[in-house]
Amino acid sequence: MLLPVTEMLSENEAIDLLGADQAAEVFIGAQMAALQAVLDASESIARGAEVMAGAVRSGGSLVYVAAGSSGLMALADACELPGTFGIPANRIQIHMPGGVPVDGRMPGDTEDDVGAAGTAMRAVKDGDVVIVLSASGSTPFAIAVAERARAKGAVVIAIANNPGTKLLELGDIPICLVTPPEVIAGSTRLGAGTAQKAALNLMSSQMGIALGHVFRGQMVNVVADNRKLVGRATGIISGIAGVSRDAAKAALTVAKGDTKASILVATGMTVEQANQLLFRHKGQLGPCLMTIQPNQNTTV
């Protein structure tokens, strides 16, 4: 029986027989090949970003589900969405069979627990997007989740590294990241994991752009909840509104940390006017700024 690609032996010489420098070259080459797999799937990734943005706009949730290393990739992407793009944390769910690990233990048998899929999908509803990952594409837990999510009317984005697998068949948006055999056979935290992490980063970043949370390459919906991010938000406001950093920081205070609203406040608007304008333009800062008269007061 032919092994899936993620379980095959690499065509490279056994990594443990190489010197450190040569081994590093092989590892890096494998990572580059993993990123090429992401590029090859860019069209499907863009479609995934569109449905994610649609779910956020309509009040739906983003539900990340995976076991093992794939679960850790999903966890990293999901947990960064509130801080980077201001996506409300209560609109994001993360499910790993056996729970999110709090130490180094991550039991392998939980990925066979199809019963846990029902628990994970209990609150999922029509309008949600469920992002399911499995390097093999055949993980029982992941497949059961995809089946239950579809039955509940959710859109399923299925990400796997082996083509023609059950999980991809169940996906409304299948994303196949065809990575070569792992340098350490079967260790999908390496090439497959890199491809999954990059694909998730790309998809969620494109979602953020579609939602209007990126303007001129900057995170205009960043949550400024520490000193570093207050400084970053102040710089963003200052640069876009064309005001001093002191005026930008004052606007940020008036708008209670809302970076988009702060930019408009820094041009002379009240917070209420800023929020109304953002609502009218569906959170898109560019059209809001185009409505501002050149002679409008630019002090706070």
Q: What share of the chain is helix, strand, coil (3-state, %, to 5)?
A: 55, 10, 35
Residue 111 is a catalytic residue: yes
Contact (CB, 8 A) for 183 and 191: yes
Show Cβ contacts of residue 274 under 8 Å, excluding neighbours closer than 6 positions: 255, 260, 261, 262, 264, 265, 288
d(CA 237, CA 201): 25
Residue 43 is a catalytic residue: no
Residue in 7, 80, 147, 182 annotated catalytic:
80
The one-letter code for the residue type at 235 is G
The H-or-E segment that residue 274 falls in is: helix 271-280
Contact (CB, 8 A) for 129 and 52: yes
The one-letter code for the residue type at 191 is G
d(CA 82, CA 75): 13
The one-letter code for the residue type at 230 is V
Nearest to 73 by CA among 5, 159, 172: 159
Residue in 111, 147, 169, 272 annotated catalytic:
111
Q: Token digits for 224?
A: 């400024």
User: Going by DSSP bridges, is the β-strand pair 62-66/92-95 parallel, antiparallel, or unpaired?
Assistant: parallel
Instruction: Give the alpha-carbon dihedral of 257, 75, 130, 81, to 10 degrees.
Output: 20
Q: What residues are labeled active site?
A: 80, 111
